[in-house]
């Protein structure tokens, strides 16, 4: 298992993993294109991929401008191996080292993703207008872990 920074050439595989998930499914697959991802892993933030046997099986993307987790997904069949936790840790370390004091994310309620974030000490702060649950993580809470 190898975590490394995402590059433009990874975008097709990032999208393949994104479209493979069973929860937090994109209702409109065309709503996030390759250019959006390129912007996120280049100009707005940074992305990471997890490779197993040379195959990308998970990815995370942080948006430094919005101070949020833009994406964290693991391909079905590779879940439960610690990939999400490694990507999560790498992403949050980078965000907080970038000088951000509080990070947020939103996710579908009552999902394994929501449980993952709750178990990682994210604090629930309410519902988004689209019905997603909004969570925040402070640098102080992250450093206590």
* pLDDT at residue 77, as a whole number: 92
Q: What is the pLDDT of residues 2-35, one digit of tens each?
A: 999 999 999 999 999 998 887 776 665 565 667 8
| CATH code, domain carrying 14 | 3.40.630.30
Backbone angles phi, psi at 7, to 5 degrees: -125, 165
* pLDDT at residue 30, as a whole number: 60
Contact between 113 and 23 under an 8 Å Cβ cutoff? The reply is: yes
Question: Percentage of the chain surpassing pLDDT 90?
Answer: 81
Domain count, the chain: 1
Angular region, 41: left φ>0, alpha ψ -120 to 50, beta rest: alpha
Q: Which residue range is the domain that position 98 belongs to? A: 2-144
Give the number of residues written for the chain: 145
Q: How much is the pTM?
A: 0.92
Distances (CA, A) of 132 to 34, 44, 52, 124: 24, 23, 31, 11
pLDDT above 60 (res 118) = yes
Q: What is the pLDDT of residues 38-64, one digit of tens each?
A: 888 888 999 999 999 999 999 999 999
Contact between 76 and 20 under an 8 Å Cβ cutoff? The reply is: yes
């Amino acid at each position: 298992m190898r975590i490394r920074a995402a590059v433009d050439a990874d975008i097709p595989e990032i999208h393949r993993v994104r479209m493979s998930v069973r929860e937090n499914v994109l209702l409109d697959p065309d709503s996030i294109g390759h250019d959006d991802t390129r912007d996120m892993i280049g100009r707005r933030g940074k992305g990471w991929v997890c490779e197993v046997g040379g195959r990308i099986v998970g990815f995370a993307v942080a948006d430094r401008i919005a101070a949020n987790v833009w994406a964290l997904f693991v391909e079905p069949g590779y879940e439960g191996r610690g990939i999400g936790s490694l990507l999560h840790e790498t992403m949050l370390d980078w965000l907080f080292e970038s000088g951000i004091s509080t990070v947020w994310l939103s996710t579908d309620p009552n999902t394994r993703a929501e449980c993952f974030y709750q178990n990682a000490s994210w604090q629930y702060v309410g519902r988004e207008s689209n019905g997603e649950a909004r969570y925040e993580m402070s640098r102080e809470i992250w450093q206590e872990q």
